[in-house]
Amino acid sequence: DAGVIQSPRHEVTEMGQEVTLRCKPISGHDYLFWYRQTMMRGLELLIYFNNNVPIDDSGMPEDRFSAKMPNASFSTLKIQPSEPRDSAVYFCASSFGTFHQPQHFGDGTRLSIL
Amino acid sequence: GQQLNQSPQSMFIQEGEDVSMNCTSSSIFNTWLWYKQEPGEGPVLLIALYKAGELTSNGRLTAQFGITRKDSFLNISASIPSDVGIYFCAGHKAGGTSYGKLTFGQGTILTVHP
């Protein structure tokens, strides 16, 4: 079975540029989560969706960050404009069901903002 | 921020030794999950626990959901070099506005010397 698929795997761009990260959740999963991982702060939940609807975006650091889920098989996380402090590994995860099911993670996008 | 205290932060062991790590919290959790992350990859689910007192094994791995619902441990028996990685505990907190959200520990970095 295909797992969570993220693209690109690596992104290097200059400060001020727009960055778009993409995620395809596991088919049939109705929850989708975006995380950011850094050495200093560990894994941080940015936002999550249920049935394509954003449920909690309290972890989104600033208005420069936005996320969408136009359908059940695709989500984007956008940073505009990007800053060096946004450099991190961004993970997408998905889960199935209503209550406390384990989340399955993609392999992440390693983002470097110069 | 993270509200799970995971220990130890790092372990350096010889191949063949047993490993034990744990997570504690001041909050009650409905589920406990243990993930392993290898370089360049996303966290991979190892064991999921759903009931207080539950003891579950997955090969050489054994994990338990604490009776108080505030802690969990993971044991690895007869460690091998491929056990190297970062191990994370995670859980779904009971009640409040945390529905669907996972809280993560800081991770335990495991190094196994051949």
Of A45, A100, A103, the CB nearest to B30: A100
* Residues B100, A48: C-beta atoms closer than 8 Å: yes
Sign of CA dihedral A42, B11, B3, A93: positive
Q: What residues in A contact B44, CB-CB < 8 Å?
A: 105
What is the mean predicted confidence (pLDDT) over B6-20?
96
- The pLDDT tens digits for A27-42 are 999 999 999 999 888 8
CA atoms of B62 and B59, how far apart (whole Å): 8
- The pLDDT tens digits for A64-104 are 999 999 999 999 999 999 999 999 999 999 998 756 788 99
Counting DSSP H helices and E strands in chain A, the numbers are: 0, 11
Query: What letter would DSSP give residue A98?
Result: S
Q: Which residue has the higher pLDDT, B2 or A12?
A: A12
Query: What letter would DSSP give residue A48?
Result: E
What is the mean predicted confidence (pLDDT) over A53-70?
93
- Examine the pLDDT at B90 and tell me if it is beyond 50: yes
In B, residues 22-61, which contact A (CB 8 Å cutoff)? 30-31, 33, 35, 40-45, 48, 50
- Direct distance between the N- and C-terminal alpha carbons of chain B, in angstroms, rounded to an integer: 36
State the average pLDDT for chain A: 93
- Direct distance between the N- and C-terminal alpha carbons of chain A, in angstroms, rounded to an integer: 36
- Examine the pLDDT at B98 and tell me if it is beyond 90: no
What is the mean predicted confidence (pLDDT) over B77-88?
97
Q: What residues in B contact A91, CB-CB < 8 Å?
A: 42-43
* Residues A106, B42: C-beta atoms closer than 8 Å: yes
What is the mean predicted confidence (pLDDT) over B45-58?
95
Q: Residue A40: what pLDDT? A: 86
- Examine the pLDDT at B42 and tell me if it is beyond 90: yes
A with B: how many residue pairs have Cβ under 8 Å apart? 48
As a whole-number percent, the residues of chain A with pLDDT over 90 amount to: 84
Q: Residue A62: what pLDDT? A: 86
pLDDT level of residue B102 (50, 70, 90 thresholds): confident
Q: Say if B95 is an interface residue toward chain A (CB within 8 Å).
A: no
Q: Residue A98: what pLDDT? A: 56
Question: Whose CA is closest to A81, among A17, A22, A20, A36?
Answer: A17
pLDDT level of residue B94 (50, 70, 90 thresholds): confident
Q: Which residue has the higher pLDDT, B23 or A100?
A: B23
- Examine the pLDDT at B45 and tell me if it is beyond 80: yes
Q: Residue B1: what pLDDT? A: 47
- Cβ-in-10-Å burial (0-12, 13-18, 19+) of B54 comes to middle
Q: Residue B92: what pLDDT? A: 87
Map residue A114 onto helix, strand or coil.
coil
What is the mean predicted confidence (pLDDT) over B86-93?
92
- Examine the pLDDT at B3 and tell me if it is beyond 90: no
